[in-house]
Amino acid sequence: TVSLLQGIAWDMQALVEQFKPQYFAANVQGNITGRVKTTGRWYEKKKSINIQDLNLNGQINNKTLLGQGSLALSFTDDKGLMPKQFQANQLLLSYAKNLLEASGNAQRLDLKIQAANLSELHPQLRGTVKGVMSLQAQPKFNVKSFFKI
């Protein structure tokens, strides 16, 4: 279901088998199989996104796509996109040999990025990014990272 009262809100569960994105965007060829459940709200004073039970795989423009895990974000500040609350459970996003892994919550979030070819994500990007980041938001904000760009 989707609601457009006071912004946008949704509650969706999808099971896809050989979904073809080219039916919606002619320049995006491929097929996707899997499942996802998502809920969320996006309006002026409250923004939240919850992705549960993500398990998608397939090909987009002849490049491998994989998504697994769960992610919950809550934004209460209407001035920015820094989440107030977050939770990532074994989140894995991979496309064209570029990989993002995330696990943790507001107390500690661990990220691992292995983007071997950024131009595969967007034609105007170049180079590589590899590294790890540990982000702590509570009780005191702290970031530790090591990246090679």
Question: Which residue type is seen at 126?
Answer: R
Question: Contact, 95 vs 72, CB < 8 A?
Answer: no
For 85, half-sphere exposure in the C-beta direction (CA atoms, 13 angstrom radius) is: 8
Per-residue model confidence (pLDDT) at position 46: 82
pLDDT score of 75 more than 90:
no
Contacts of 27 (CB under 8 A, 6+ apart): none
pLDDT score of 93 more than 70:
yes
Task: Quote the mean pLDDT of the chain.
Answer: 87
Per-residue model confidence (pLDDT) at position 81: 59
Other CB atoms closer than 10 Å to residue 99's CB: what's the count?
16
Q: Is 117 helix (H, G, I), strand (E, B) or coil?
A: coil
Contacts of 30 (CB under 8 A, 6+ apart): 20, 21, 22, 58, 59, 60, 61, 62, 65
* Number of helices (H), then strands (E), in the chain: 0, 10
Q: What is the dihedral of CA 106, 68, 34, 62, to 10 degrees?
A: 120
Per-residue model confidence (pLDDT) at position 45: 77
Note the pTM of the prediction, 2 decimals. Answer: 0.79
DSSP symbols for 19-77 = E-GGGT-TT--EEEEEEEEEEEEEETTEEEEEEEEEEEEEEETTEEEEEEEEEEEEE--
Report, as an integer, the average pLDDT of 37-48. 87
The segment with the largest mean pLDDT, out of 19-28, 37-46, 114-123, is 19-28
